[in-house]
Chain A
Amino acid sequence: DIQMTQSPSSLSASVGDRVTITCRASQGIRNDLGWYQQKPGKAPKRLIYAASSLQSGVPSRFSGSGSGTEFTLTISSLQPEDFATYYCLQHNSYPLWTFGQGTKVEIK
């Protein structure tokens, strides 16, 4: 099974900061990866698909990069509404999906 290692598990940042979250796959997954934002009591919301494509309606301050085993989600200028938990999800290892452990972004 493919394992996804997400880091950091949490971070504290200020409004306006640049934030980077990383997911590493235990084997190559091409670009079969998405990034999700989840707020308390809510369902996950997809931000990025195919590793680097921005989901329609998602602000352009969110971006994704990577392919193969290393992937990155970047928030270029953190906004108050961005404080949430972020997950990566790989769907390359048919038929199984694997999530990263999550990164909680908190206010500094």
Chain B
Amino acid sequence: EVQLVESGGGLVQPGGSLKLSCAASGFTFSGSAMHWVRQASGKGLEWVGRIRSKANSYATAYAASVKGRFTISRDDSKNTAYLQMNSLKTEDTAVYYCTRFPPDYWGQGTLVTVSS
């Protein structure tokens, strides 16, 4: 059974940093691209970025709203993807989900709150 479990969310001040994790099981993680999607309270879904597999050179891509501040990485030995978030803004407050490609299974999400 495919499972994705996000962790690492919490309260952080504007300008601060936070690193989210996405632990995967039930599929060949090393061969899969992994994506992050976020959702502010009461709002729609927003794609954040993705990292491809080793075979595709671990290529990353980001939404314009986070480019230069967020970094996606992965550790295939731990079946885990990461989202490093720096220079956080209040508008980054959201539930962050990880999913794979194809986007069939999603984690339960982890809440990030950016507030002073």
* Complex Cα spacing A36 to B47, Å: 14
Min CB distance A8 to B, Å, is 14
Asked if B45 is at the interface of the complex by the 8 Å CB criterion, the answer is yes
- A43 to chain B: which residues have CB within 8 Å? 97, 106-109
Given A34-B103, A89-B103, do A95 and B46 touch, yes or no (CB 8 Å)? no
> Which of A15-23, A69-77, A97-105 contacts its partner?
A97-105
Min CB distance B5 to A, Å, is 11
* Complex Cα spacing A36 to B44, Å: 12
* Complex Cα spacing A24 to B112, Å: 31
Interface size range of chain A in the complex: 20 to 34
Asked if A55 is at the interface of the complex by the 8 Å CB criterion, the answer is yes
**Identity of the chain B residue whose Cβ is nearest the Cβ of A94 in the assembled complex:** B61
Name 22 A/B residue pairs within 8 A (Cβ), A-sorted. A34-B102, A34-B103, A38-B45, A43-B106, A43-B108, A43-B109, A44-B45, A44-B97, A44-B106, A45-B106, A55-B104, A87-B44, A87-B45, A89-B45, A95-B59, A97-B35, A97-B37, A97-B47, A97-B50, A99-B47, A101-B44, A102-B44
